[in-house]
Amino acid sequence: MKWYKKNNHYLLLSPALIFTVCLVGCGLIMAFLESIRAFESPSFDTYQELLAGETFITSLLYSLCIALFSTLISIIIGLLLVRSTFPVLKRLFPKLIAWTPMVFPHFVWGYMLFLLFSQSGYFSSLLNLIGLMDDKVNFPILFKDPFGIGIILTYVWKEVPFVILILMPVYEQLSRSQKELVYTLGGKSWDVFWHVERPYVFPVLYETFFIIFTFVVSAYEVPALLGATYPKMISVLTFDWFFGSDWTKQPDAFAAMILLTLMTVFIVFILFTLTKNRRIFLIQTNGENKEYSKAKKYEKLFFLLIAISTFLPLTLVFITSLTKKWEYGHLLPDFISTRGWHVLLVNSPQLQEAVLTSMGICILVLIINLLLGIPAAKGLAFYEFRGKSLIETILLTPILIPAIAIAMGVHLTFIRLGLANHWSGVALVHLLPTLPYTIKILRAGYERIGKQQEEVAISLGGHPLRIFQSVYLPQLMPSIRSLVFLVTVISLSQYFLTALIGGGAVTTMAILFFPYFKTADDSVIASFSILFAIIPIVIYLMVEVIFRLILPKQTR
């Protein structure tokens, strides 16, 4: 009893910790054993062959380059946009507009950009219309090109809103008085950036860099749809090896993922050590100071840029979904019809099943996320203890280590446990790319509310569950809302993990989208794309209704 009282935080953290350690640990060990064919005659031959062959090395370097460029460009653009439009972005509607791309899975957004930038896309068509270009072949090849421009474009377009999302709270916390101090001491705006913003912004940027880089380097979906046949990104190569007809290539797939894991861990470790002494979490204000915002130069212009980059692909995909015929070189579609929607919703019985399966998985993923995430977030927010940074790192590993490597490793274990080929198993692996975000978001929520409210409530006679329900849950709602969106979208975006653990028996929307994408029937694909954004909104509304029922009523 006494131990329990004194070590409350370990109890809060253990569910999430045990889950993460089991899944990540087991996954990596099993993947390693498979890669050295430990179950036949163990050897490192596979590694030697991989490292000697050109295919793997090219693919690895290609992946690293694309990831590096995508991440750096996203972070720079994101930082510039937040700095130049911050006062506008604080308001609700501008914020929603900036974040809208996040509602679409990466590959769906990739398709939307494909509609804009491909050789037969809208921009090419427009150039033809105004007479600058006679034929579509003159338009530069941006998609399925060997340089991966389309892939980088998609990632940047999608990650910039993510960077904005991460940086906004930092800029909201920056104290105005420190800026003014620098000005009165004779500093210029560069000095303000360097001495006031940098100490708070850079640590966050490092972390954002890790997260985006490790995601892009190992993500499968976007390069699979928009990449060239050569060179292939490492994840696509792994997929081919793993699911290909040649069974002897399977150990190569495992070895490739183990090497990629080592590579990312190595890079993250190097960057982490280099930036370590600057990664102190600093809190400047208690959030109570209401800073009046001075309008920035060109802030409207920059915001217009954000709005265009959100609405252009959105409008185009919407129009395309209602198009029957759209000749190249025409400004507007020639025939409008709802055929795309009709084919999708009426003539594809598979789709209805896929929507239901996807939503079921999303909801299960959400529930487990909240059950594991809420106590863990509270433990991290309210307690200081030995080994805290280690535990934080462990809880973050699922998004730093390629989820594909882990999933391939636990695949056999899941088969034995009867979790494979079933939607519950799929939901479990979907926790890998979502749980770290849930914990991060909820932790920030708890830190904002503070521990003292709990002590007041205890002193006034409240018991833990009642305090959670009437004091913390209502105040955590903003955090829960954003994580509902994030978790749902991430779960909907998983093709590789779902295909692997679902083994063809679990048909989610992502699984169905890939074959559709190859049909080239644009109005159907466009309708399907929009459907992807509708699901998170539906789930969000469902969650909202449920919480309205749980939460104590505010009316008297």
Partner 1 sequence: MNSYIELQNITKHFKKQSVLNIPSLSINKGEIVSIVGPSGTGKSTLLRILAGLEEPDSGQIFIENQSMAGITPQDRPVVYMFQESLLFPHMDLLENVAFGLKMRRVNKTKRYELSRNMMKRVGIEGLESRYPHEISGGQKQRAALARSLIVNPKVLLLDEPFSNLDTELRKETRRWMKRLLKDEKITVLFVTHDLEEAMAMGDRVAIFRDGQMQQFAVPEDLYDSPANPFVSSFLHAGFWMGDRFIPSSTLTICNEVNDTFHHWKAEIVETFFQDSKNHLVVCLNNCEHLITLTSEKHKKVGDQVILQEKEAVNEKGGKE
Supply the minimum distance, in Å, between the C-beta of residue 390 and partner 1: 20
User: Which CB atom, from 294 or from 463, has the smaller least distance to partner 1?
Assistant: 463
Q: Identify any residues that bridge with 323 across adjacent strands, giving them in sequence order.
A: 336
Supply the minimum distance, in Å, between the C-beta of residue 463 and partner 1: 6
Residue pair 159/219 in contact by the 8 Å Cβ criterion:
no
- DSSP-based three-state secondary structure for 326: coil
Query: What is the C-alpha to C-alpha distance for residues 530 and 163, in angstroms, rounded to an integer?
Result: 24
What does the DSSP assignment read for 482-507? HHHHHHHHHHHT-SHHHHHHHTTT--
Supply the minimum distance, in Å, between the C-beta of residue 12 and partner 1: 17
Query: What is the C-alpha to C-alpha distance for residues 236 and 42, in angstroms, rounded to an integer?
Result: 26
Supply the minimum distance, in Å, between the C-beta of residue 546 and partner 1: 18
Give the number of other Cβ atoms within 10 Å of residue 53's Cβ: 12
Supply the minimum distance, in Å, between the C-beta of residue 387 and partner 1: 16
User: Which CB atom, from 339 or from 378, has the smaller least distance to partner 1?
Assistant: 378
Interhelix angle 388-400/250-275, nearest 10 degrees = 140
- Residues 6+ positions from 55 with CB-CB distance below 8 Å: 237
- Residues 6+ positions from 179 with CB-CB distance below 8 Å: 192, 196
Which residues bind to partner 1, rule: CB under 8 A? 5, 452-453, 455-463, 466, 470-471, 474-475, 554, 556
CA-wise closest residue to 521 among 360, 377, 337: 337
Place of tokens 């600093």: 282
User: Which CB atom, from 416 or from 548, has the smaller least distance to partner 1?
Assistant: 548
User: Which CB atom, from 349 or from 461, has the smaller least distance to partner 1?
Assistant: 461
Supply the minimum distance, in Å, between the C-beta of residue 470 and partner 1: 7
Give the number of other Cβ atoms within 10 Å of residue 15's Cβ: 16
User: Which CB atom, from 173 or from 348, has the smaller least distance to partner 1?
Assistant: 173
User: Which CB atom, from 290 or from 297, has the smaller least distance to partner 1?
Assistant: 290
Tell me how far the alpha carbon of residue 285 is from its chain's centroid.
Answer: 29
Supply the minimum distance, in Å, between the C-beta of residue 4 and partner 1: 13
Residue pair 226/151 in contact by the 8 Å Cβ criterion:
yes
Supply the minimum distance, in Å, between the C-beta of residue 1 and partner 1: 9
User: Which CB atom, from 300 or from 466, has the smaller least distance to partner 1?
Assistant: 466
User: Which CB atom, from 271 or from 444, has the smaller least distance to partner 1?
Assistant: 444
Residue pair 250/242 in contact by the 8 Å Cβ criterion:
yes
